[in-house]
A and B are shown apart, each in its own frame.
Chain A
Amino acid sequence: MSSGVSGAVLEMRGLRAGYGPRTVLENISLSLAAGDWFVLLGPNGCGKSTLLDCVVGRLKPSGGDICIAGHSLAKNSYEAKLQLGYGCAPDALPALLTSRQCLEVHAGAKGLAAIGDDLLALAERLRFTPYLESFVDTLSLGTRQKLAVLLALVGDPLLIVLDEAFNGLDPASALVLKRHLRARIERRGGALLLATHSLDIVEHYADRAAVLIDGKLKHEWPKSELQQLRAGGADFEAALTEAIGET
């Protein structure tokens, strides 16, 4: 049964952000509804990670507003972040805590009484359980990636934000995770914002996609367009090339 929000899960209006004098994002507006799997594409250095940093509150935007499940991230960050799950980069995880402790800290920060059974079941399916007592600095890249995603899912958040979450994962684990995320956002009535370079995710899982170039959303594929592409067996790579105007 869905327990999502009636309005947009993520609402972004006129977002501007940068580092010092350099503006990276210019006037970005985006809205994610319940059940949306939104893929953010774009060349290296175009601002994808900066956009995610703004959404999760790691970077303060210089303009615009971000609302998560109706709560403004700037004015009501506590309530907004309660509905947010972020999968950080594997090298941003604390090296000297164990995987179990990372999960405990995330669950403690979200005020949970216990970790959900579905999360432990996912850890088991990802073959992560044997690494619960291992220090993060002894884990391989793929195992750290699994931990980062599990941390993002602690507390069953409405908005899941993942940055290149499938990098380093073995194909079997990647498949398990993609199916789990699809099922989770449908059950929860939440949304997923994923920055990636993997076009296969757009072709098979995404509801919507957009390409970010030079800090601006250059083109967006709505659900209907992606469905048409899928139905017609069209190549998304060609559609992307056409959209960004490269030959």
Chain B
Amino acid sequence: MFAPRLMTARLIRRNVNTRAKARRRIAAAAAFGLIIAIVWAQRAGVAQAIDWLRLHGPLWGGLAAVASAIQVARRRVLKRAEFAGSWLAAVPVRSSTARREALLIETLPATAALAAMTVLASSCGVVLAFAHAGRSGALFSVWAAASAGIAIGALVSYAIPAPKPVDLPPGSRYVPHSKVQRAAEIRPSLAALGAWPVRQMFAWAQPKMVARATILILVMMPLGTTADVAMVVIAVFAVSGGLILLWMAAVSASRWVRRWMAPLPVHAGAVMRALLLPTFGVMAGAGAVEAALLPALGVSYRVSAGAGIVTAFVGCLATLGGVQLWGAWPRQVP
């Protein structure tokens, strides 16, 4: 069976640096060892947890089915869109082979989850058997419920209608930008660099992402939360999220700007000042907004002001550190 997509995936895996492969294996083995050690150390608690999981077997099965259906459906849409524009799209493959290949690729999240569950359940079973804690029947029923859920979810995913393929527009679409008069003269200045991290933040904060994050925040709120408190909490999360994005944008822009401007006769300090001062201004503003929002959640004015100052200070410091650590200088031969 000539399956070009699977063969490519195999070759890519083979091409991964042997040191990176070894690191991954060591990390996986360490994680597995840690889980087994925890199970052994907490065997009584684990046994109780297994009993509890068995009692709610249908619920876990249902949740596993929903998660599996969503994951497989999303991967299917993504992989089909990727394949349509792939270098392998025009390679002649028998339709039966192409179908099998697509099925294996698209259901990979479910297959991986099943494999992980099986390894974990059998290891726990062995550890508990050694500890004379029993529970093999309960463990099997929990494993069976979750595995059946995953398998059913993967099958059901094929009944979910495919969403429209996501075609991300240029990031600048989401950037607030005031139109300059066409006749305006070009004024030499480094000031435009300052807008770069802020624009990058807006470009990354795509409306779809923001909407999903908002739903997640709303779900996290306890029952009985009033609308005004919910709005304040959303605003606090928005400020925090914006700060994290701005930090990432500043580091990313500094890497880019150093490479772009390396051939220019300008000192790195002047470029970094032009690039980062507006970012620091925005961070100070974010700190002030946070200080203004927190009293609405019952926090004292003093603590709110302190939190705002700390947020702004830590943001600026982290940005400076990030730019120094990850901002790329021109390449150098050792």
Contact = CB atoms under 8 A, between A and B. Distances in A.
Given A94-B257, A104-B188, A58 B262 contact: yes
Interface in B77-100: none
B331 interface: yes
B170 A138 contact: yes
Interface residues of A, number: 51
Contact of A135 (B170, B190, B267, B330): B170
Contacts of B189: 104-105, 107-108
B199 A86 contact: no
A96 B203 contact: yes
Interface stretch (A26-34, A109-117, A224-232): A109-117
Given A96-B199, A115-B188, A135-B170, A57 B263 contact: yes
A108 B264 CA distance: 10
11 contacts: A57-B262, A58-B330, A59-B333, A61-B333, A81-B264, A94-B253, A96-B172, A107-B189, A109-B265, A135-B177, A137-B172
Given A58-B262, A94-B260, A96-B200, A135 B331 contact: no
Interface in A80-133: 80-82, 84, 86, 88, 92-98, 100-115, 120, 132-133
B186 A95 contact: no
Given A81-B264, A96-B171, A135-B170, A57 B190 contact: no
Interface of A: 17-20, 53, 56-62, 77-82, 84, 86, 88, 92-98, 100-115, 120, 132-133, 135, 137-138, 161
Contacts of B191: 104, 108
Nearest to A129: B182
Interface of B: 170-172, 175, 177, 179-180, 182, 185-193, 195-196, 199-200, 203, 253, 256-257, 259-267, 271, 330-334
Contacts of B172: 95-96, 135, 137-138
Given A58-B259, A78-B265, A84-B265, 16 more contacts: A58-B263, A59-B333, A60-B332, A62-B333, A80-B265, A86-B263, A95-B170, A97-B195, A98-B192, A101-B192, A108-B189, A109-B190, A109-B271, A112-B188, A132-B182, A135-B172
B186 A103 contact: yes
A95 B180 CA distance: 18
A113 B188 CA distance: 6
B99 to A, nearest CB: 37
Contacts of A120: 186
Q: Is the interface of A mostly helix, strand, loop or mixed?
A: mixed
A82 to B, nearest CB: 4
Contacts of A107: 186, 188-189
Given A81-B264, A109-B265, A133 B179 contact: yes
Tell which of B203, B253, B257, B262 has the most Cβ of chain A within 10 Å.
B262
A168 B263 CA distance: 23
B171 A105 contact: no
Contacts of B185: 114
Contact of A104 (B182, B192, B256, B263): B192
A57 B188 contact: no
A77 B185 CA distance: 30
Contacts of B193: 97, 105
B171 A92 contact: no
Nearest to A84: B263
Contacts of B175: 96, 135
Nearest to A58: B262
B219 to A, nearest CB: 32
B333 A100 contact: no
A97 B334 contact: no
A82 B264 CA distance: 7
